């Protein structure tokens, strides 16, 4: 019997030697060049593994790789078939392939000695010995290795690979993950893997394939759409392009037939059940598979699916979450549909229950509504709403409540209150007003009406309806059984009190709200209360505590989900970095948060983020970019009619144009905002007009109207002092200092500046104050040099603001740089500039033409290394070319 078996094996080897099994596959004309992938195979490690589902183009790529090889390259080919699952047959064919590649026709390299023993172990041992001693270069290619489904045989194959000589390389193409120690091969830098993502076509390649298959050009847009639908899967792309006739919805018939033959008919029943159950969710994990299949073995089946590469893709590095290829999922859904709608509805219901238990409300509701069971959908939404409210995701609440009728919304107080609150916070005020009225009419008892008065007050406050309230009135509207609603009411009222500069009352409400939710998962409301307290601290002069509070909030949210809490915290952190002159950090946070501001549609977040970003652009001289940011912000705020924040944008734009020496454009900004350049006492009585007043002051100072500007600033200072607004006083008194300085009132200037420094606790001005008050950095540095600042900020402050002040009193300074060589005429003209004369006045006084005056001043500016008249005067003062007094600007 052994002799007969030996004879059979010898016959197999002899037949295989001349079989197509041992020949490279034939090329076809419709092949798209894969130069980069061919190079990866050529440069790959000892083992190159092509691991991808059927139809991914593994064999085609191997054909293209082999094509350019010369006759001197030794390549052993083995195309596996179903019967190759027998180790003896497999290794005998492998031996024959190697014999053929090495052309050992006189003395067999392997076949004669191994096959007479007729056992896989003996063949493998002989192969191992001969391959280990081989000096000649050899590449062994095994295609369709998935048919060799034998754990012991794969272990032997791995030993062959590991123990073969360095001159031997292996290329394996398979649909199934081989039972190899791939991690060991990776650690030894011996493994190169090309997977489905590597093999997938790009849109440009799909365009090429269309020309090859149909001789018809395909637009890049259509190719991109085809690529997205097929995910670049080559068989799917090709069958899609070959489809004739009109496009139809659903799965291409040919693709469905291909998937049925290659990825369904051979699948065991236990895996079919898993495939049908898990195709319902777009993404799934082991726990969800267990719930859907009602079988603890589902996780083991899932591992098996992944090993088989059945169009299942891991979504994370830990292989916890998975999804199916888009076309394969469509195929599975079509198979599931044959089992009836009841089965589908039942799976959707299980999914919705599982997702809500794991606090993934979006997926829970998608499946709940897919059941077509309205009461169940309402029940799931009731459970989802609190998850969104905790993190402030009000757009999600409106998105899903929008799928209900108003009657359904009003019938469930939990959904109704969340819906109304979301309308208010997202500033859909008209709808909120109408639906609040309807809610009052439909409420059946007092318990259902209890939440409506707090919501009504929130609406009136946020619409600037002029509602007057005191803290006891707000506290009387608290809803004990709903601390979340109560805290949001307190936060809204506290913020309005903060805007009105009633800091004590605002702090009381914010603290009450924070206490109500302490220790609960309601992060959004807690974060809003914290932000109000931080703003109060800053306004009252506790800048360090405010900054620490902002950075603490950011530290707690930076690694979490990108949600409204993260947007609020990141915006606050960007502002802190800017105030502390850490501009690179501020810019990094702004670039991250600006695209995501729609998550937290708070106008305050929107304004702060855009203003900080615009200031950073100004700091780098990108005035056009800064103006575009402010124009966008202006358009949004104008639509919302929020005058207080519009005033802030007005000030920023006025400041920007004055920086560019364009006062007429600054005046136009003021007019566009409905403001007059002349002081209007009736308007300045309202707090939200303060930034408009500061815009006027900036223009007044630029025009040399110092007395009028100082009068306006002193009035604003008095009001800030009465309110206890320390931060507001700092920048107002700093502005008074530079105003007095430019008016030649040196003592008054230093007095105002030192008063402002005292308010900061002698920690120094922030970057925002330096940017708010033009000329303050130069004046501050000059005052220090003149020993007019009795209490200096700490040394660390000057290191941080070196780029702003260009001076550090704590450092020893090098000898004074040589004075620029100015001609006497240039020096005379510079002195006239320091008096604030215009070019025309200088021309007339010097008895030279206006053109010659401009030419001389251009040379002066170049020698001083400055670009503006104000900078030239300050530079001349530092070099003692003119007296230390600031220029006197004439009214313009």
In the chain, the percentage of residues whose pLDDT exceeds 70 is 92
Mean pLDDT of 668-674: 89
Could you give the 3-state DSSP secondary structure of residue 212?
Answer: helix
* Chain segment 704-762, per-residue pLDDT in tens: 899 999 999 999 999 999 999 999 999 999 999 999 988 888 899 999 999 999 999 99
Mean pLDDT of 232-246: 84
Q: Which comes out higher in pLDDT, residue 881 or 563?
A: 563
Distance CA 495, CA 712 (A): 27
Helix (H) or strand (E) holding 775: none
Mean pLDDT of 122-149: 91
Range from 164-168, 379-383, 763-767, 875-879 carrying the lowest mean pLDDT: 875-879
Give the pLDDT score at 10. 52
Could you please report the per-residue DSSP string of 448-496? Answer: HHTTHHHHHHHHHHHTT------HHHHHHT--TT-HHHHHHHHHHHHHH
Give the pLDDT band (50/70/90) at residue 250: low
> Residue 598 carries which DSSP code?
G
* Domains in the chain, CATH or no CATH each: 2-199 (3.40.50), 205-331 (1.10.10), 704-813 (no CATH), 824-878 (1.10.10.10)
Which own/partner contact pairs does 586-591 have at CB distance under 8 Å and 24+ positions apart?
A: 586/612, 586/616, 587/613, 587/616, 590/616
- For the cut 60, the answer to whether the pLDDT of residue 232 exceeds it is yes
Give the pLDDT score at 882. 74
* Chain segment 304-323, per-residue pLDDT in tens: 998 898 899 999 888 899 99
* Chain segment 457-479, per-residue pLDDT in tens: 999 999 877 788 999 999 999 99
Give the pLDDT score at 686. 44
Mean pLDDT of 354-367: 96
Range from 79-88, 327-336, 652-661, 877-886 carrying the lowest mean pLDDT: 877-886
- For the cut 90, the answer to whether the pLDDT of residue 598 exceeds it is no
Helix (H) or strand (E) holding 32: none
Give the pLDDT band (50/70/90) at residue 786: confident
Q: Which of 233-247, 609-623, 820-834, 847-861 has the highest mean pLDDT?
A: 609-623
Q: State the virtual CA torsion across 786, 788, 794, 797 in degrees, nearest 10.
A: -70
> Residue 887 carries which DSSP code?
P
- Which of 190, 191, 192, 212 is closest to 201 using CA atoms? 212
Mean pLDDT of 89-114: 71
Give the pLDDT score at 886. 46
* Chain segment 787-805, per-residue pLDDT in tens: 899 999 999 999 999 999 9
No. of helices (H) and no. of strands (E), the chain: 50, 8
Range from 71-80, 111-120, 171-180 carrying the lowest mean pLDDT: 111-120
273 Cβ contact list (under 8 Å, min separation 6)? 293
Strand order in the sheet with 75-79: 75-79, 138-143, 168-174, 47-51, 191-195
> Residue 25 carries which DSSP code?
P
Distance CA 38, CA 62 (A): 8
- Which of 515, 541, 513 is closest to 528 using CA atoms? 513
257 HSE (CA, 13 A, CB side):
5
Average pLDDT over the chain reads 88
* Chain segment 382-399, per-residue pLDDT in tens: 999 999 999 999 999 999
- For the cut 50, the answer to whether the pLDDT of residue 559 exceeds it is yes
Give the pLDDT band (50/70/90) at residue 588: very high
| Angle made by CA atoms 271, 274, 276, in degrees to the nearest 5 | 110
Residue pair 101/138 in contact (Cβ under 8 Å)? The answer is yes
């Amino acid at each position: 019997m052994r002799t007969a078996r030996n004879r059979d094996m010898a016959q197999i080897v002899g037949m295989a030697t001349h079989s197509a099994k041992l020949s490279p596959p034939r090329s076809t004309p419709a092949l798209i060049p894969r130069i980069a992938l061919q190079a990866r195979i050529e440069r790959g490690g000892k083992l190159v593994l092509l691991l991808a589902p059927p139809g991914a183009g593994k064999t085609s790529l191997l054909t293209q790789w082999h094509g350019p090889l010369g006759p001197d390259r030794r390549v052993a080919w083995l195309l596996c078939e179903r019967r190759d699952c027998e180790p003896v047959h497999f290794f005998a064919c492998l031996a024959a392939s190697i014999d053929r590649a090495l052309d050992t026709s006189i003395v067999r390299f392997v076949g004669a000695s191994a096959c007479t023993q007729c056992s896989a172990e003996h063949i493998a041992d002989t192969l191992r010995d001969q391959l280990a001693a081989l000096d000649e270069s050899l590449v062994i290619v095994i295609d369709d290795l998935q048919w060799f489904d034998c754990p012991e045989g794969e272990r032997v194959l791995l030993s062959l690979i590991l123990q073969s000589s360095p001159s031997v390389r292996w290329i394996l193409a398979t649909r199934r993950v081989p039972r190899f120690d791939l991690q060991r091969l990776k650690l030894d830098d011996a493994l190169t893997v090309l997977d489905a993502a590597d093999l997938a076509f790009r849109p440009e390649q799909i365009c090429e394939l269309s020309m090859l298959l149909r001789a018809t050009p395909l637009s890049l847009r259509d190719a991109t759409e085809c690529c997205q639908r097929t995910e670049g899967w080559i068989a799917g792309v090709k069958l899609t392009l070959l489809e004739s006739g009109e496009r139809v919805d659903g799965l291409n018939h040919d693709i469905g037939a291909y998937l049925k033959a290659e990825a369904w008919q051979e699948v065991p029943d236990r895996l079919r059940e898993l495939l049908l159950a898990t195709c319902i969710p777009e993404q799934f994990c082991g726990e969800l598979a267990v719930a859907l299949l009602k079988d603890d073995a589902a996780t083991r089946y899932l591992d098996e699916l992944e090993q088989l590469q059945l169009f299942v893709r891991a979504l994370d590095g830990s292989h916890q979450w998975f999804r199916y290829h888009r076309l394969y999922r469509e195929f599975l859904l079509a198979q599931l549909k044959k089992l009836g709608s009841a089965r589908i509805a039942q799976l959707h219901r299980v999914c919705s229950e599982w997702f809500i238990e794991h606090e993934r409300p979006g997926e829970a509701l998608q499946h709940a509504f897919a059941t077509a069971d309205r009461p169940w959908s309402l029940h799931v939404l009731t459970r989802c709403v609190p998850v969104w409210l905790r993190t402030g995701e009000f757009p999600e609440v409106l998105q899903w409540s929008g799928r209900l009728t108003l009657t359904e919304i009003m019938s469930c107080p939990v959904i109704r209150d969340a819906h109304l609150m979301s309308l208010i916070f997202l500033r859909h005020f008209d709808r909120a007003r109408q639906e609040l009225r309807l809610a009052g009419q439909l409420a059946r008892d007092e318990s259902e009406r209890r939440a409506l008065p707090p919501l009504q007050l929130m609406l009136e406050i946020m619409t600037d309806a002029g509602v007057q309230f005191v803290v006891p009135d707000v506290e009387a509207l608290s809803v004990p059984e709903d601390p979340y609603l109560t805290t949001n009411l307190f936060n809204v009222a506290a913020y309005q009190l903060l805007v009105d500069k009633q800091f004590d009352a605002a702090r009381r409400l914010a603290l009450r709200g924070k206490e109500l939710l302490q220790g609960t998962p309601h992060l959004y409301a807690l974060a809003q209360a914290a932000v109000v307290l931080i703003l109060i601290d800053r306004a009252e002069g506790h800048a360090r505590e405010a900054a620490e509070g902002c950075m603490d909030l950011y530290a707690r949210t930076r690694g979490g989900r990108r949600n409204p809490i993260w947007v609020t915290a990141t915006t606050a952190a960007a502002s802190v970095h800017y105030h502390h002159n850490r501009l690179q950090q501020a810019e990094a946070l702004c670039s991250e948060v600006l695209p995501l501001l729609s998550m937290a549609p708070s106008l305050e977040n929107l304004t702060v983020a855009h203003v900080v970003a615009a200031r950073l652009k100004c700091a780098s001289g990108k005035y056009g970019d800064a103006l575009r940011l402010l124009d966008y912000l202006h358009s949004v705020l104008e639509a919302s009619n929020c005058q207080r924040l519009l005033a802030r944008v007005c000030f920023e734009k006025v400041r920007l144009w004055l920086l560019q020496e364009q006062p007429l454009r600054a005046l136009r900004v003021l007019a566009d905002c409905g403001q007059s350049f002349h002081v209007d006492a009736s308007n300045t009585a309202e707090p939200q007009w303060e930034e408009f007043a500061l815009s006027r002051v900036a223009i007044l100072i630029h025009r040399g109207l110092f007395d009028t500007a100082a009068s306006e600033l002193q009035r604003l200072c008095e009001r800030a002092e009465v309110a206890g607004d320390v931060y507001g006083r700092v920048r107002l008194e700093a502005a008074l200092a530079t105003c007095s300085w430019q008016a030649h009132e040196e003592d008054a200037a230093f007095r105002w500046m030192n008063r402002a420094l005292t308010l900061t606790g002698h920690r120094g001005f922030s970057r925002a104050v330096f940017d708010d008050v033009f000329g303050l950095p130069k004046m501050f540095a000059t005052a220090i040099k003149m020993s007019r600042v009795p209490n200096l900020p700490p040394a660390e402050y000057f290191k941080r603001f070196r780029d702003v002040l260009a001076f550090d009193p704590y450092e020893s300074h090098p000898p004074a740089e040589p004075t620029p060589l100015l001609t006497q005429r240039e020096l005379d003209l510079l002195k006239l500039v320091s008096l604030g004369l215009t070019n025309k006045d200088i021309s007339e006084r010097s008895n030279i033409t206006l053109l010659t005056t401009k030419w001389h001043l251009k040379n002066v500016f170049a020698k001083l290394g400055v670009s503006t008249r104000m900078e030239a005067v300050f530079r001349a003062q530092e070099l003692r070319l003119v007296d230390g007094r600031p220029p006197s600007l004439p009214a313009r």
